[in-house]
Amino acid sequence: MFHPATRFTIEDETPPRQVRDYQYPMGLLSYASEVEHRSLGYSRFWYCRFQDGEERAEAVLIPRYDSSAIVESFVNEYRAEGGTHIDGLKAALGEVAKQFRRDIHRPFGKRGNSLGGLRVLLIMRVKAVEYHSATKDIVAGNRPFELVYNLITTQLPKEIARTMAEEARR
């Protein structure tokens, strides 16, 4: 998780010397706002956060202009390329997409792919996580699936409704 007190400073020592400070006071949401949302020019994104005791997950989902998908995930601070948490993400997005299937501006799930048209940044903290490989890049077990599934199905519909209401007011 991006800790609110974390600060990164990057210094370019070649002339003209430049220093850039990065701080993310709202964690992943701040990071997505600065790096993903504004720099890529997307008009909206959805932020979801879910906590169950000591376990938690947060995600930023950004609609893309094409039907491809990009997923970046971290489980207990390890980069995770795939596994049950991604299966939970796909299943949950499929459920949420069904709620918006009649909407002319369907937010994601293009061409039968529940991830289609999304960039997802997903970070999880799970008490007892299993891995399929020694490099810890493939997550196993039911708990990561459940945590992500609950995150998306309980939080994303609210976020989509909020952004649709904001867009309707404009």
For the chain, give every domain's residue range.
Answer: 44-169
Residues 98-124 pLDDT 10s: 887 666 455 666 656 777 778 888 999
Residues 83-103 pLDDT 10s: 999 999 999 998 888 887 666
Separation between Cα atoms, residue 140 and residue 142, nearest integer Å: 7
Please report, as a single letter, which amino acid is at residue 147. L
Which class is domain 44-169? Answer: alpha beta
Separation between Cα atoms, residue 147 and residue 46, nearest integer Å: 18
Separation between Cα atoms, residue 70 and residue 146, nearest integer Å: 21
Residue count (the chain)? 170
Residues 32-79 pLDDT 10s: 666 554 444 455 788 899 999 999 999 988 887 777 788 889 898 888
pTM over 0.95: no
Listed residue (32, 123, 140) closest to 76, CA to CA: 123
